[in-house]
Amino acid sequence: FSDPRLIVANRSAADLGTILAEYGCGGADYVISGLPFSTLPPGVGPAIVKATKMSLRPGGIFLVYQFSPKVVDFLRLEFSNIDRSFEPLNVPPAQLFYAHADEG
């Protein structure tokens, strides 16, 4: 994939802020995750959600696609505005969660 905007970092998603800073990136407009929050070790999910919120620009969105609604428990720790939708054409069907960063 040859898009200069793509950055592949083989590190923990909890390091998102550090990774963006190392590459000279400001805040992110969108962060997309398919990590299985319901099976992560204790403490990892909250750390990822916190790092993601801190890495979003005002008005940015953390989009999480999951097969379990458990991720909402993690998202609510940092985000007060969470929208939810469903994608039936995905195999298996996926739940989509849009956590909105405050406008600033």
Q: What is the pLDDT of residues 43-80, one digit of tens each?
A: 999 999 999 999 999 999 999 999 989 999 999 999 99
| pLDDT score for 35 | 94
Mean pLDDT computed over every residue of the chain: 93
The three-state secondary structure class of 57 is: strand
Structure tokens at 8: 């592949």
Structure tokens at 90: 């995905």
Q: What is the value of pTM for the model shown?
A: 0.90
| pLDDT score for 8 | 86
| pLDDT score for 104 | 67
Q: How far apart are CA 13 and CA 28, in angstroms?
A: 14
Burial group, residue 44, by CB count within 10 angstroms (0-12, 13-18, 19+): middle
| pLDDT score for 1 | 76
